[in-house]
Amino acid sequence: MQAHNRVHELEAESRSAKKKLDLMLRNLSEEKASWRSREHDKVRDIFDGVKEALNRERKNRQRVEIINSKLASELSELKSAAKRYLQDYEKERKARELMEEVCDELAKEIAEDKAEVEALKSESMKMRDEVEEERKMLQMAEVWREERVQM
């Protein structure tokens, strides 16, 4: 009977050990599942973070590309405007130089005309003096003739 009790005891210990083992295996399985779930959540969080960062980078790149496009367009417009202003400046410079040449020519012609006018004035004064001299001579001749007639 002792052997029988001992067998029951061993069977009870075996069942108890099996239950403990089953409980430990279940706990281990649950811990393993929990660990996998936590690791999966960590990986998902990392993945979501990378995904968000990638989306931000994508949006930033698009904004930068739009700004770059606008800047390129503005630069092109500025280059065109600068070219037009340079052409306008050259036209104005040439027109100013031509105007200066014309003014210089006119000033030279005016100086020549002024010299000619002065020469004509001088000649006119000389002729007037000569005419005045001749008039006086004619008056004198008239006076002498009248005196001769009266004699």
pLDDT in tens, 32-82: 999 999 999 999 999 999 999 999 999 999 999 999 999 999 999 999 999
For residue 146, name the pLDDT band (cuts at 50, 70, 90).
confident
User: pLDDT at residue 134 above 80?
Assistant: yes
Lowest mean pLDDT: which of 13-27, 75-89, 91-105? 13-27
| pLDDT score recorded for residue 148 | 83
Mean residue pLDDT across the chain: 94
What is the mean predicted confidence (pLDDT) over 89-117? 96
Question: How far, in Å, are 27, 58, 59, 62, 125 from residue 128 at the CA level?
Answer: 145, 101, 99, 95, 5
Q: What's the pLDDT at 6?
A: 87
pLDDT of 137 > 90? The answer is yes
Indicate if the pLDDT at residue 87 is higher than 80.
Answer: yes
Residue 108 is encoded by which pair of tokens? 């030279």
Distances (CA, A) of 121 to 10, 12, 124, 133, 144: 159, 157, 5, 18, 34
Distance CA 81, CA 102 (A): 31
Q: 128-140: buried (b, 16+ CB within 10 Å) or exposed (e) per residue?
A: eeeeeeeeeeeee
| pLDDT value at residue 149 | 83
pLDDT at 150: 81
- What are the CA-CA distances from residue 17 to residues 3, 13, 84, 150 (Å)? 20, 6, 98, 191
